[in-house]
Amino acid sequence: MSTDTSDDTGEELFGDVDLGWEHLKNRIFLGIVFAAAMFGVVALGLLLLDIATDFYVGVTEFNINLGEFLTRDGSRREELAGFRGAIVASIMLMGVTAFLSFFVGVGSAIYLEEYAPKNRVTRLIEANLANLAGVPSIVYGLLALAALRNGIGLGPIVLVGGVALALLVMPIIIVSTQEALRAVPDGVRRGSYATGATKWQTIRRVVLPAALPGIFTGTILALARAIGETAPLLMVGALFVNRIPYGPFDRFSGMPTQIYAWAAEPSQHFIHLAAIGIVVLLTMMLFMNGVAVYLRNKYETEV
């Protein structure tokens, strides 16, 4: 720590500092912060190891056949339960979510980044966006439950779940789209204006094509987050449905809600079904993240 050296001459510069203690203190501190950094890594390792172990035990000891697991629908009987209905429901849900959130999200981002004047309305929209990003996901579920499922009487259907998830990921899509638009150099815009193009022509023909890979990357990452969201789906009543939904107006239970239903069962067989479901869910998320990273790397240098 700081020491009073005003009276010290050169040779006793460190006279009142115990250097040994200073070294020890530094080493202990490094040990502490290093251990803390490793804590997160170890926790992640344990989590993945636990799921991998349960997956393995499920396949070997509980004789869960992976092929049957992926091609059967859910069931109250543990030995007949499969994941097909949930997988199809989740994919359908992602389609609805992507459709609903992409255009509105990208549109909002273009407005905020390219058109918005610096006034009170813009500040309000931006502050509101920051707050929306912090709203707990379960609250979006409540909104969809009261307004859509019961308010206009749509029932617990895929579309209602999709709206809840679309509203949930909207702030993420907007922020990532804004970043992608910001990454387009201003010189490109000015060049377009110089040829007499309007703002909208510039955006549509010059800025958007250049920003599109970044926008897609952000959207896919947002969807990868949405596919694991459980609470909003539970609130709209997506639970205890086993079969494949026949369309966006059918009842459903997605992958995360099915995993929850299994994990909450007391039977060990169901717990291991949940572990296998989690492996499928994480694999799908990993794939989506992989696509996003691939897109980013492929187009990063060209912009």
Partner 1 sequence: MSTETDPGPGITKGSGTQADQIENRRARRVLFGCAVITVLTTLAIFFVLFDNAASYFWSSRITEAIFLGEPFEREITFTEFFTGTRWAPEHATPAHGILPVAFGTLAITVGAAFVSIPIGTATALYISEYASKSVRSKLKPTLEVLAGIPTIVYGYFAIAFINPVVVGPIADALFGINVGRYSMVSGMLVVGIMTIPMVSSISEDAMQAVPDELRNGAYALGATKYDVSLSVVVPAAISGIFASYILAVSRAIGETMAVTLAAGFNANITANPFSEIMTMTAYMVSMARGTSAVGTVEYQSLFAVGLVLFVMTLSMNLLNDHLKRRFQEEYQ
Site for partner 1 in 247-266 (CB under 8 A): 256, 259-260, 263-264, 266
Contact present, 91 and 85 (Cβ < 8 Å): no
Task: Identify which of residues 247 and 287 has a Cβ nearer to partner 1 in the complex.
Answer: 287
Query: Which one of 70-78, 80-88, 180-188, 275-283 is the stretch in contact with partner 1 (CB under 8 A)?
Result: 275-283
Contact (CB, 8 A) for 229 and 254 = no
The phi and psi torsions of 84 (rounded to 5 degrees) equal -60, -50
Give the interface segment with partner 1, choosing from 34-42, 75-83, 84-92, 243-251 (CB under 8 A). Answer: 34-42
Map the footprint of partner 1 across residues 90-149, applying CB under 8 A. 103-108, 110-112, 115-116, 124-125, 127-132, 134-143, 145-147
Give me the DSSP letters along 216-243: HHHHHHHHHHHTT--HHHHHTT--S--S
Nearer to partner 1, 53 or 71 (CB): 53
- Residue 293 binds partner 1 (CB under 8 A): no
Of 299, 296, 258, 303, the C-alpha closest to 277 is 258
67 binds partner 1, rule: CB under 8 A: no
Q: Which residues contact 189 (CB under 8 A, 6 or more apart)?
A: 202, 206, 207
Subset of 161-200 contacting partner 1 (CB under 8 A): 167, 170-171, 174, 193, 195-200
CA distances for 38 relative to 34, 42, 46, 48, angstroms: 6, 6, 12, 15
Binders of partner 1 among 196-235, rule CB under 8 A? 196-201, 203-204, 224-225, 227-231, 234-235
Copy the structure tokens of residue 85: 């209905």
CB within 8 A of 285, min separation 6: which ones?
224, 227, 228
Asked if 288 is part of the footprint of partner 1 (rule: CB under 8 A), the reply reads: no
* DSSP label of 251: B
Question: Where are any strands of DSSP class E within 134-204?
Answer: none
> Between residues 141 and 213, which has the closer beta carbon with respect to partner 1?
141
**The residue type at 43:** A
Tokens of 216: 């897609």
Minimum gap (Å) between residue 284 Cβ and partner 1: 11
**85 vs 302 by CB, closer to partner 1:** 85
Task: Kindly state the smallest distance separating residue 279's Cβ from partner 1, in Å.
Answer: 10
Minimum distance from CB of 164 to partner 1 (Å)?
A: 11
The pattern of x and - marking residues 41 through 60 that bind partner 1 according to CB under 8 A reads x-xx-xx--xx--x------
